[in-house]
Amino acid sequence: MHCVIGLGRTGLAVVRFFLNQGERVFVFDDKLKEKDFPDWLSGSPLVTPITLQEVESVLPLVEECVVSPGVHPGHPVVRRFEEWGIPVISEIELAFRYISFPLVGITGSCGKSTTVSLIGEILRKAGWDVFVGGNLGTPLIESVLLPKPPAIGVVELSSFQLERVYTARFFIAGILNLYPNHLDYHSSMEEYFQAKGRIFLNQHHRDWALFPLSRPLWQARWCRMARGRVIPLGVGVRLFEGLYALGNAVFEGGVPPRKILSLEGCSLPGHHNRENVLMAVAVARILGVRSETIEEVLRSFQGLPHRLEWVGEWNGITYYNDSKSTTPSSTRVAIEALPGPLIVILGGKAKLTDFSELTGVLALEKVRCVVVYGASRKTIEAFLPSRIRSFSVESLEEAVKIACREAKPGDTVLLSPACTSWDAYENFEVRGEHFKALVHALGKGSFPEPS
C-alpha cells in the first residue's frame, strides 16, 4: 500500500491515480479535517485517512510514501516513515514510472512558469501534442490517465519536487537561474542548489542540459553535474558556442556567429524575460521547430497572470501586477525590468528576514516612492534606502490608495510584494486579483472590499 502525505492539488491527483489502479491508499493531511475531503475521496472504501497518532500502526503496511510539494522534510510523519526505511518520493518520480513520452524539465528560482508555458505554446504551434504542467498547475501524474499519451511533456519543477526524484529522467533539462528562496524549507543555499541540480541526475549522454552563463557562481558546478550535451545560454553577451540574445535577435555562437531568429515584437519586458525566451528558443531548436514558428509565438505571447502582468493605464499612470514575486530576488528582477518613474508596493508575510537585496535597487533614481503593507512591513522598512520616500500601512487597499495618490502622469505603479500573501490572502493569485480589482475600480472612484 501507499501513503499520500498532503492533500493539495498534487496529493489529490496521486490519490485519484491509485484509485484508478484499484489500489488501497492511506492519506494524511494535518491541515484538513475529514469533513473537508472531496466526496469522491471520503466516499471511497479504498481510502483510509490517518492521523498523526495512527501513523505507527500503519508503518508495517506501507511500501512507499508520496509526499506533496511543500510538505516540510522535517515533518514528523515524513521523518517517521524515513526512520522506518520506507521510501518517500515525489509525484514526479511516481509519474515517471508510468509515462511513455519524453520529458522537458525546467527549474530555477524565477521565470519557470512563464518559460514552461511559452515552450508549450511554441510546440503546439509547431504541431506537437504536448502535456504542460508539473508545478505550473496540472500534476504530471494526470497525464497517465489521459486517453492518449502526448508526444512530449513540458514540466515546471520546484526544488521540493526535485529533492525526491531518484530515477526520473529529463530528455531536456534547463535551469534558468538561482536566487535565495525557500530557505525556510531548505536548511541552506547549498541544499537548495543540490535539490535544483537533481534535474540532471539521470540524464543520458545524448540528452540536453541548458543553463545560463550569467551565473558564474554556479555555472562551473552545473557543468560538472550535467551528464548530457550542454548548451550554454547568454543574454547581452556574445558566446562562442551555445545560444545568446543580443539586441532584438538570437544568435548561435560560432565564428562567425549566426543569427537564427528575431525578437522584434516580443512584448515580455525585462532582462529576466529575455532569459526565459532564450531557454524556450533553445528547447524549440533542439526539437526541430522552425524559426518562423518561434517568432510568430513570441509576437503573440503575453505572459502569465500575476507575473509582471500589465493591468492597464489610467490618467497617464500604468499599473503592473507582479503578485507572484514572493522573494526579494524576484522583486529586484521586476523593478529592474520596468522603466521609471516607479512607485513600488511591497508587503505581505515574508519568507526571509533579510531584504538587503532590495536596498540597492530601491535606491535607483527611477524609484520615486515605496509603499509597504502587511504583516512583515516593519521587517522590510529596515532595509529601505534612506533617500526613498516611503509609507507604511496595514492593508493592500490602503497601499493602492497611497500609490495612486502619489503617482503622477508617466509613472508606473508596481505591485511586487517580495513576500507571500498568507497574512491576508489564500495565495498570490487571490492577492493579484484583488490588486487588479482595486486598480480597475479607480475609474469608478471606489475600492471593493476583499472577498
| Residue positions forming the annotated binding site | 108-114
Q: In sequence order, what DSSP letters do the residues of 294-360 get, joined into one string?
A: HHHHHHH----TTSSEEEEEETTEEEEE-TT--SHHHHHHHHHHS-SSEEEEEESB-S-S--HHHHH
DSSP conformation class of 436: H
Q: Are 209 and 228 in contact (CB under 8 A)?
A: yes
Residue 231 one-letter amino acid: I
From 2, 135, 306, 436, the catalytic residue: 135
Let me know if 112 is a catalytic residue: yes
Let me know if 135 is a catalytic residue: yes
From 2, 177, 182, 306, the catalytic residue: 182
Which segments are annotated as binding site for ATP? Answer: 108-114
Neighbours of 220 (CB within 10 A): 10
CA-based nearest residue to 14, from 161, 230, 154, 126: 161
In whole angstroms, how far apart are CA 337 and each of 267, 268, 293, 308, 450?
12, 10, 26, 9, 29
Residue 389 one-letter amino acid: R
- What is the residue whose three cell numbers read 505554446? 121
Q: Are 248 and 215 in contact (CB under 8 A)?
A: no
3-state secondary structure of 29: coil
Long-range contacts of 426-430 (CB under 8 A, 24+ apart): 428/306, 428/323, 428/324, 428/326, 429/305, 429/306, 429/323
Q: Are 306 and 321 in contact (CB under 8 A)?
A: yes
Torsion sign over Cα 279, 282, 288, 290: positive
State the helix-helix crossing angle for 428-440 and 396-406, rounded to 10 degrees: 40
From 112, 186, 272, 324, the catalytic residue: 112
In whole angstroms, how far apart are CA 59 and each of 1, 21, 321?
10, 22, 46
Q: Are 377 and 445 in contact (CB under 8 A)?
A: no
3-state secondary structure of 225: helix
What does the block give as the cell for 181? Answer: 528562496
Let me know if 276 is a catalytic residue: no
- For the annotated catalytic residues, the residue numbers are 112, 135, 182
